[in-house]
Amino acid sequence: MEDSLAREVADLKSNLINVNFGLAHTCRGNPIVEQKRIDITARLELKEKLLLLKKQEEERQKKLEQEKIIQDFMNKPFVNLSEDKTYFTISVSGVEFLFDNEKEEIERLSVLSNIRNLDINEVGYSIFKPILLRIGSIGSLNINDGGYLCSWDYPIHTELKLIERKKLSEDLGCDLGDIHVHHIDLNQKNNRKKNLEVLHKDNHAKRHGFPSWDALQLWRAENLD
Ligand SMILES: [Zn+2]
């Protein structure tokens, strides 16, 4: 839609240029043209002020609209507390992931703080919106190639057990990366604490029927693409 106020300002500006040109040349000293210049200048000032106010109001409305969209988005029930409140679920790509509902764990979950503090500016939202509409994933949440729920690059089940993992790695004197978290029921989507077992990678391999992690890796290399 054509902005009539903006067009009026543009017209007044070009009128003023014409009048000034006239006053500098053929109409020099002409009191009628001089008065015209004064009138146009006053009118232009007024219209420019109105235009500025209009733009500010539009800006404000746009921001309110944006905030409402984000608020609606934040209120989307992607985190569902179960009836008995012993666990909660997060839906990503229509897949529900189970978590234990223990306060300190929820607070520690970087995933939740990332969700709550999502900094969605206009650009971010325009990028994010189609993804949200398409698969319903949230902010930093994604599913990695292995099928695990991740916040950014961090698999949530390993994040949930970070303290235990650190302790075991210190006890065994090995890298934190060698301490794995196994899904006891073999369901990667069930991150309830009682389903997560912290193990050295060799013991983890044993849970999957291999004598060692290296043996498991070798089998993978030979059998999976
Ligand atoms: Zn495992």
Among candidate residues 50, 74, 98, the one where a domain is terminated: 74
Among candidate residues 154, 189, 205, the one where a domain is terminated: 154
Q: Which residue has the higher pLDDT, 207 or 1?
A: 207
Residues paired with 220 in a beta bridge: none
Whether 144 and 83 map to the same domain: the answer is yes
What separation in Å is there between the alpha carbon of 197 and the centre of ligand 1?
8
Q: Which residue has the higher pLDDT, 144 or 85?
A: 144
Whether 91 and 144 map to the same domain: the answer is yes
What separation in Å is there between the alpha carbon of 181 and the centre of ligand 1?
7
Whether 147 and 166 map to the same domain: the answer is no
Whether 178 and 216 map to the same domain: the answer is yes
| Per-residue CA distances from 171 to 75, 87, 182 (Å) | 43, 30, 19
The token duo for 73 is 């988005």
| Per-residue CA distances from 45 to 9, 15, 48, 56, 217 (Å) | 9, 13, 5, 17, 75
Concatenated DSSP letters for 175-190?
Answer: -GGGEEEEETTS-TTE
Tell me how many domains the chain contains.
3
Among candidate residues 138, 154, 170, the one where a domain is terminated: 154
Q: What is the pLDDT of residue 223?
A: 82
Band (85; pLDDT cuts 50, 70, 90):
low
Q: What is the rounded end-to-end Cα distance, in angstroms, of the chain?
A: 57
Whether 168 and 145 map to the same domain: the answer is no
Task: For residue 20, give its domain range.
Answer: 4-74
Q: What is the pLDDT of residue 105?
A: 58
What separation in Å is there between the alpha carbon of 159 and the centre of ligand 1?
15
What separation in Å is there between the alpha carbon of 140 and the centre of ligand 1?
24
Whether 15 and 45 map to the same domain: the answer is yes
pLDDT at 183 over 90: yes
Mean pLDDT of the chain: 78
Residues paired with 151 in a beta bridge: 141, 154
Asked if residue 59 lies in contact with residue 104, where contact means CB atoms within 8 angstroms, the answer is no
Of the candidates 39, 37, 51, which has an alpha carbon nearest to the alpha carbon of residue 4?
Answer: 51
Whether 170 and 189 map to the same domain: the answer is yes
